[in-house]
Chains A and B, each alone.
Chain A
């Protein structure tokens, strides 16, 4: 349990709840109730029933043969892309919408980058008949048009965030402002393992289904629940945390988190947070973030909207600082190439976010026979425009 949150809401030096007083009652209400609600047997039953019948879990663990052959290792893909709505994000939104209902909330807000979390939130709001408002950066609205249309069709109101870099960070600011202005009836479904305590822990718990299933599937398929490597991409870090969760205390399993280098870590257009960042406070928790010497948040860049975030969750900061996780980065181009490679070798078009994790295989050296699990966090339908433009298809 050494990598989990302590009773004060910290992971080592990181975490906490750095929030203005206006948010305190909401966050405190959550803090006092989230474990009680989640641990309740009826909640667990309903949560798992929905994950099975509505999301389509368990998601397959697929041994990618041609990819394995290419790299000389047994490469397993955890197929979160096959979930309803096309990414891992729905694991968390199902959990949080049930929790919001238990807290008696009538209105749901969320931020979104690639639109996957927005779609997953709008979906569960339609399912449970709750009002839904999604904040999305103007730039992202532009580059993720199909997801915007899906959210609207699902009945959500999509509000453009037009401040700052007009991406995920700014959408998060706007969602927090909404929550400040609607302190009583609204629940904010944060989509990643970021934000004030208890959000990083709560989201990690809901996403931990990914590694819980993976362990069982590895036993069935290999007889050993401990692979040599576990890889996932990291923006805020929710799919990675879900993928790492039940492996964190298995110290022999190497955890590799892949950040977005954008146009290169030294190009000035990057989102490689652990490489470029320093310790500080962003969106309510102490973590590592990209910032100026004066503590102003630096605007990130990544071709992938879901990784275009200047921070990482506090638990990731802790895994990084303690050396438990290895944090690396992959450029825009490397990720797009890896996306095309997976498409052509395995017939799976990955989200560009997930393609960052795949791209790191190129940089690894295998003796042969190692078991490698990669979280294929989402499908690439939403990224077709970007792929088409890049490869002149």
Chain B
């Protein structure tokens, strides 16, 4: 059974961490994964960098650029990930933009994910209709979850459609924003979170974008199965010893 499903079956308040592969140093990818698992992360989203990340704010743009400048690409990432499952047992997703996947070949991509033990993908600019028509079979053959995003503006009918196509979790954006904005939970956001919660979707939900500390994490967990932290973590590991920065960052979410 897919590791993602197992996790949601047994645990609440799931903490998922996003980081950019090949950042801060090209070879840090596996070390960060292991350090995160050790410090209590429940799930990982490893970003493969793209030159034109339109959905990202300045921090993830900068980490992507640095990673690319250091020579990261999908082929190298899959090489690095050959060692992923030596020690890492928590679910791992790859997250990135569609063009590198298309150039790698969707089928090769799914196959490579399955080989290294990746459990799912988040490709924000892969349209639902393209996925359904051309790629769903391939993802499912390789037991890969494909995670879709929804925003406060996503219509109810479309949310149900997304719920039907997803088999992992639904990525609930706290607001329509690029990554790295602060989460302000006002009435509108609470209404939106409550509205989604009351829809009783078949998939679990994870709240992302704007989660940066224990307070915002706890708030998110009261509406969803957990939350995703990206920008705040990428910022925290910018310099210094990886193991120490990871463990210091994760301490914020204990207790």
On chain B, the residues within 8 Å of A18 by CB distance are 98, 125-127, 130
B54 at the interface (CB under 8 A from A): yes
- Contact B176 A281, beta carbon cutoff 8 Å: no
User: Which residue of A is nearest B181, CB measured?
Assistant: A181
User: Which residue of B is nearest A18, CB measured?
Assistant: B125
Give Cα A19 to B101, complex, Å: 15
The size of the chain A interface, using a CB distance under 8 A, is: 33
B220 at the interface (CB under 8 A from A): no
Which residues, 42 to 79 on B, are CB-close (under 8 Å) to A?
Answer: 50-55, 57, 61, 65, 68, 73-75
User: Which residue of B is nearest A279, CB measured?
Assistant: B102
Shortest beta-carbon distance, A167 to chain B, in Å? 12
A51 at the interface (CB under 8 A from B): no
Given A173-B54, A183-B153, verify A17-B176 contact (CB < 8 Å).
Answer: no
Shortest beta-carbon distance, A288 to chain B, in Å? 12
Shortest beta-carbon distance, A345 to chain B, in Å? 41
- Contact B99 A281, beta carbon cutoff 8 Å: yes
A21 interface neighbour in B50, B101, B102, B148, Cβ under 8 Å: B148
- Contact B151 A21, beta carbon cutoff 8 Å: yes
- Contact A17 B127, beta carbon cutoff 8 Å: yes
- Contact B100 A181, beta carbon cutoff 8 Å: no
- Contact B178 A294, beta carbon cutoff 8 Å: no
B154 at the interface (CB under 8 A from A): yes
A158 at the interface (CB under 8 A from B): no
For chain B, the bracket of interface size reads: 35 or more
- Contact B181 A22, beta carbon cutoff 8 Å: no
B92 at the interface (CB under 8 A from A): no
On chain B, the residues within 8 Å of A25 by CB distance are 151, 153-155
A177 at the interface (CB under 8 A from B): yes
Shortest beta-carbon distance, B96 to chain A, in Å? 10
Shortest beta-carbon distance, A24 to chain B, in Å? 7
Give the interface centre of A176, A177, A184 by most chain B CB atoms within 10 Å.
A177
On chain B, the residues within 8 Å of A180 by CB distance are 54-55, 176-178
A56 at the interface (CB under 8 A from B): no
Given A180-B55, A183-B176, A295-B104, verify A19-B99 contact (CB < 8 Å).
Answer: no
Give Cα A184 to B152, complex, Å: 11
On chain B, the residues within 8 Å of A75 by CB distance are none
User: 8 shortest A-B CB distances, which residue pairs?
Assistant: A295-B103, A295-B100, A294-B73, A20-B124, A21-B149, A183-B176, A296-B51, A25-B153
